[in-house]
Chains A and B, each alone.
Chain A
C-alpha cells in the first residue's frame, strides 16, 4: 500500500512545552518529554515515531515555530 511516512524535528531549546501540538496530532505521535530544556520546559518529542504520517498539523499549530516536518513517500 502506498503511504507516507513522516518525522518531525523539534528545536528543544526553543520549545516551551505548551502541549498544543500533542493534542492536535491526529496520530498521537507526540508527547512531552520527562526531561526539561535549559528554560525548564518539558519539550515536545516524538513518543511514537512509527505512527507519524508527516501531515504537519503540529508544525502549523506550534505557537513558537519550533517544529520542522519531514515526509517521504513509501
Chain B
C-alpha cells in the first residue's frame, strides 16, 4: 500500500481545526503559542460553541490572535484583557468568554486586573501562557523569569538579592519568580486552576483536556474563574533551537513551575 493510497479524505484521523483561519501563524518556528491556539480551536469546535464564543487577545506575541481564530475577538489594552472579558461576560452572560494572555501581560502590567478579576469570581476562562520572558519586545526579564536566567535586562542572570560583598549582601535586586497561579488559587473567586505544558504529545493532550474542562465549567457554572496556565517556550529569546528549548523547559521551568491541577471545583488540591 503506497502513501498515495492512504492519503485519502476517508482515512483522515487528524488535521488542523477548521476554526483556525488559513493565515499562517507569525510566531517563531517551534513557538508554543501555535500549539495552544490549535488546542483552543479544537476545544471550541468540539464543544460546538464557536457561534457564541468571544476571545480577548492581549498585548504581546499573541496580540494578533484574532487573525487566526474564526470566532469573535476583541483586542484589549496591555494587561486589561480580563477587565475587558469581565465587561463582555456581564453584558452577555450567555456568551462564552475567554482571555488569552502571556506572562508579561497577565503577571506584570495586568497583575491588578488579574487579581481583581479572580477575586470577583467572574465566570470566564483565562488562558495564561508562561514562558518566563518578554518575547515580543526582545527578551527582557519578566516577573516569571527564573532565578539565574539570562535575559536582555539581566545579562548576568536574574538575582533575587544583590551579590555578597561591598556591603550590599541581601539587598533586594530583581526579586523572585512570581507564582501568580498559586497566588490566585488561594482566592475564593477561582473555581478551577491548573498548570499544563505543550512540549510533547502527552502533555498537549492533557492541556487540551484542561482547557476543555475550563470551558465546560464556564458553560455549566454561574461564577468562578477557570484559569489554565500553560508553561511554554520562547526559543528565540532563550537563544536555543526549538527542540533544545523544549528540553530546557523540562529541565529548568518545570521544577520551578510544577505541572498539575492546583484547584478543582473550588477546592485546593493537596499534594
A59 to B34, CA, bound (A): 12
Contact B27 A70 (CB under 8 A): no
Contact B242 A72 (CB under 8 A): no
Q: Which residues of the other chain, B, contact A5 by a CB distance below 8 angstroms?
A: 1, 6
Contact A69 B30 (CB under 8 A): no
Are A70 and B6 also in contact (CB < 8 A) when A61-B35, A64-B34 are?
A: yes
Q: Which residues of the other chain, B, contact A74 by a CB distance below 8 angstroms?
A: 1
B31 contacts partner chain A, Cβ-Cβ < 8 Å: yes
CB distance from B47 to the nearest CB of A (A): 19
Contact A69 B13 (CB under 8 A): yes
Across chains A and B, the number of contacting residue pairs, with CB separation under 8 Å, is 95
Q: Which residues of the other chain, B, contact A16 by a CB distance below 8 angstroms?
A: 28-30
CB distance from B61 to the nearest CB of A (A): 12
Chain B residue with Cβ nearest A61: B201
Tell me how many residues of B have a C-beta within 8 Å of chain A: 36
A46 contacts partner chain B, Cβ-Cβ < 8 Å: yes
Contact B34 A24 (CB under 8 A): no
Q: Which of A30-74 contact B (CB under 8 A)?
A: 41, 46, 49, 54, 56-57, 59-72, 74
Q: Which residues of the other chain, B, contact A70 by a CB distance below 8 angstroms?
A: 6-8, 11-13
A24 to B16, CA, bound (A): 18
Binding site for A on B (CB under 8 A): 1, 3, 5-8, 11-17, 20, 24-25, 27-35, 38, 198-201, 204-205, 241-243, 246
Apart from the given pairs A6-B6, A18-B30, 10 other A-B contacts in the complex at a CB distance below 8 Å: A16-B30, A18-B29, A20-B30, A61-B35, A63-B25, A63-B32, A64-B24, A65-B34, A68-B15, A72-B11
